[in-house]
Amino acid sequence: MKKLSSLSVFFPCFNEEKNIELQVQHALSIVPKLAKRFEIIIVNDGSVDKTKQIAQKLVRKYPELRLVSHQKNKGYGAALKTGFNQSQMEWIFFTDADLQFDMHELQSFIPFTDKYRAILGYRTRRAEGLRRALNARLLKLFVDIVFRVHVKDIDGAFKLLRADIVKPLRLESDGAFISSELLYKLKKNQVRFKQLPVSHYHRRWGNSTGANWRVIVKAMRDAILLYWHMKWQRVSHHQW
C-alpha cells in the first residue's frame, strides 16, 4: 500500500482520561503503515481530570508522541489551531480522542492523496443523542445558508489535510465553528474536497460537550462575527 512521505496525527482532548491511552495505542498500530515518517500529538485542552498525567506517561514511553497542553480550557477550536500549529509533517490528520472513530479507516483515504489536498470523512450514521444530532443539523443548515460550504458532515472530526493548505489559514474561532470556518476558508482558496464515508461509534467513556445548546449558540455567534468581519474587509479593501 502507498505510504505518505510524512504525517502528523493529533488528538484534541478535554477530560479524556479513560480514552486517551487506548486512542494513542490505536494510532500507533495503524499510523506506521500509512506514513514513512510520523508524529502523534496530544493536545490537552486544559483537562481537569488525569488526561495530562496519563499523556505525560505515554510520552515517556513512546518517542513518536508529543504532548501540548493549554493551562486552561480554551475550546475545541483553540485545540485544533494548536494542533495545526504544532504539526511538522507534510500531511496532517486529526480526530477526537473519544474513540468514536476507527482510525483504520484512514487507510482508505491514502489513495486519494495524489489528486486531493483535503480528504474529509463524513459519518454515514451519527452515533449520538438526539440533542447532539439536532445541534449539528442546525449548525449545518445555518452554515450552508450563510457560507454555502455544502459538505455532507460540517463538523466531522476525521480529516486528512495537506499542511501547506492549512497552516497559512488565519483561523479565528476557538469553539465549535472552527470546522465550518476551516472548510469555508479552504473553499475560498479553491481547494477541492474529497468526501469519504466513515463509521461512527457510541462514546463508551466520558461526556461530550456537543449536546450543550450553548455550544451551538456560540458557533452561530462565531459564524456571524466571521461573516461581518469578512464583509468589512472587502469593503475596506474596495475603498482603498
pLDDT in tens, 68-79: 999 999 999 999
Q: Does residue 176 have a pLDDT over 90?
A: no
CB 206 within 8 A of CB 18: yes
Q: Does residue 239 have a pLDDT over 60?
A: no
Question: What is the maximal distance between C-alpha atoms in the chain?
Answer: 57
**Domains of the chain, CATH where assigned:** 4-130+152-207 (3.90.550.10)
Beta bridge partners, 4, equal 35
Contacts of residue 82, defined as CB under 8 A and 6 or more positions apart, other chains included, come to 12, 43, 68, 70
Task: Provide the 3-class DSSP secondary structure of residue 219.
Answer: helix
Which residue, among 166, 165, 152, 161, has the nearest Cα to 198 in the 3D structure? Answer: 152
Whole-number Å distance between alpha carbons of 161 and 134: 27
Whole-number Å distance between alpha carbons of 215 and 118: 26
The confidence score (pLDDT) of residue 154 equals: 82
Lowest mean pLDDT among 85-89, 94-98, 224-228: 224-228
HSE (side-chain half, CA atoms, 13 Å) at 219: 29
Which is higher by pLDDT, 40 or 207?
A: 40
Per DSSP bridges, beta strands 118-123 and 158-162 are antiparallel
